[in-house]
Amino acid sequence: MLGALPPRGDTPEPGLPDAWWLDPRRAVIVDRATGAVTIVTTATSSALAESAADRFGEEVRATLDAQAAGARQPTTSDALIAGTWHTSRGQYAADIARCREHLLAGDSYELCLTNEFRPDTDPDPLDLFLELRASDPAPYAALLEFDGGAVVSASPERFLRGTPDGDYETKPIKGTTARASDPLLDAAAARELANDPKVFAENLMIVDLLRNDLGRVCAPGSVHVPSLMAVESYATVHQLVTTVRGSAPGVPPLDVVRALFPGGSMTGAPKLRSVELLRDIEGRDRGVYSGALGVLGADGSTELSIVIRTAVRDDRGWSIGAGGAIVLASDPEAETLEVELKASALRRAFARSSRS
């Protein structure tokens, strides 16, 4: 887990560390397609590993049996949990105006401006995760619990996938619209997203940025875009997603992570100057939100998500980050509504888990 924008000044805000690493000695791997459960343990010898796997397997089997016996039914509700936005609607519009000034001055082409919502409740992280997974399943769903904090994520966005042979892929998301219950209206919303010239511009600039990021570590000529701005649909939103790939055989995976971090879809272009501007405009430490979360495998594989659609708990309580790209064509009211839409699934999950 890696945080994104650092705090302003020399004194960090209270919260979680900038990075948190875990070297697991035991793991349970569940194949959702087949239902197969694999137990993994590490030890200094094969005999010790087999013995540890047998004991751990019995623990896992007992836990699964207990969960099956007491399985709870997911609840449904459209209620949003109450809470406080870090930046009011009026101030967010003023921040968009500041972004536009920098865009007109040529300081940046695109700025991913974010806000933060703090719910008025403190649910158990596992309860919150189960509610969110039932209502808003996502390919990078995650639950982390550790001393001093927790992370509950329903991220749909791939930051970086890498194979042991050094083939890498990133899938930036730029462009989000709400789904409709009516199939015809839902299809129309997806088509409108795919043909929106403003969204096209947002996505294209980030694609160019990530091609450049991968190009810093990948073999010349290997960086390519097999899928440009495809609509991917999730439980509550349609999103516009591009796939960028490259080959970096022999390059350490952390060097590839370093070349792409933080994810360009959460910063803007050019990246360094955009991060500097956003740190000043937002006036807060983003922390885990908009960073990266996932696995660096012992075999050299990499699977990391962008930390969006995520709730984070630290010593100040829970927070939900949400944001969107600001370009010259941005409408302040539309941008504010998009931010609120991106936080809504988590706010509903908070409301349901608080009643359970």
Written as tens digits, the pLDDT of the chain (356 aa) is: 566 554 444 444 556 778 888 888 888 888 878 888 888 888 888 888 888 888 988 888 888 777 666 555 556 667 899 999 999 999 999 999 999 999 999 999 999 999 999 999 999 999 999 999 888 888 899 999 988 789 999 999 999 999 999 999 999 988 888 899 999 999 999 999 999 898 888 889 899 999 999 999 999 999 999 999 999 898 788 988 999 999 999 999 999 999 999 999 999 999 999 999 999 999 988 989 999 999 999 899 999 999 999 999 998 999 999 999 999 989 999 999 999 999 999 999 999 987 65
Residue 297 maps to a domain: yes
Q: What is the end-to-end Cα distance of the chain in Å, rounded? A: 29
User: Do residues 169 and 45 both lie within one domain?
Assistant: no
Element (H, E) at 38: strand 37-41
What is residue 9's predicted lDDT score, i.e. its pLDDT?
A: 47
User: Do residues 246 and 331 both lie within one domain?
Assistant: yes
Mark whether 171 is an active-site residue. no
Residue 273 maps to a domain: yes
Residue 146 maps to a domain: yes
User: Do residues 31 and 175 both lie within one domain?
Assistant: no
Q: Among 110, 171, 174, 271, which one carries the catalytic annotation?
A: 174
User: Do residues 150 and 102 both lie within one domain?
Assistant: yes
Residue 77 maps to a domain: no
User: Do residues 60 and 151 both lie within one domain?
Assistant: no
User: Do residues 97 and 235 both lie within one domain?
Assistant: yes
What is residue 99's predicted lDDT score, i.e. its pLDDT?
A: 97
The set of residues, in sequence order, having a beta carbon less than 8 Å from that of 136 and lying 6+ positions away, is 154, 234, 235, 236, 309, 345, 346, 349
User: Do residues 220 and 316 both lie within one domain?
Assistant: yes
User: Do residues 90 and 58 both lie within one domain?
Assistant: no
Element (H, E) at 356: none
* pTM of the predicted protein model: 0.85
**Domain housing 48:** 22-70
- Spatial CA neighbour of 324 closest among 306, 309, 338: 338
User: Do residues 335 and 245 both lie within one domain?
Assistant: yes
Residue 120 maps to a domain: yes
Q: Among 110, 116, 131, 157, which one carries the catalytic annotation?
A: 157
Residue 76 maps to a domain: no
Residue 75 maps to a domain: no
Q: For residue 206, what is the domain's CATH number?
A: 3.60.120.10
What is residue 349's predicted lDDT score, i.e. its pLDDT?
A: 93
- Give dist(CA 163, CA 225) in Å, integer: 18
User: Do residues 233 and 278 both lie within one domain?
Assistant: yes
Residue 8 maps to a domain: no
The set of residues, in sequence order, having a beta carbon less than 8 Å from that of 63 and lying 6+ positions away, is none
Mark whether 174 is an active-site residue. yes
Q: How many structural domains compose the chain?
A: 2
The C-alpha R_g of the chain, in whole angstroms, comes to 21
What is residue 184's predicted lDDT score, i.e. its pLDDT?
A: 94
Task: Please list the residues that pair with 227 across neighbouring strands.
Answer: 243
Answer left, alpha or beta for residue 210, where phi above 0 means left and psi between -120 and 50 means alpha.
alpha
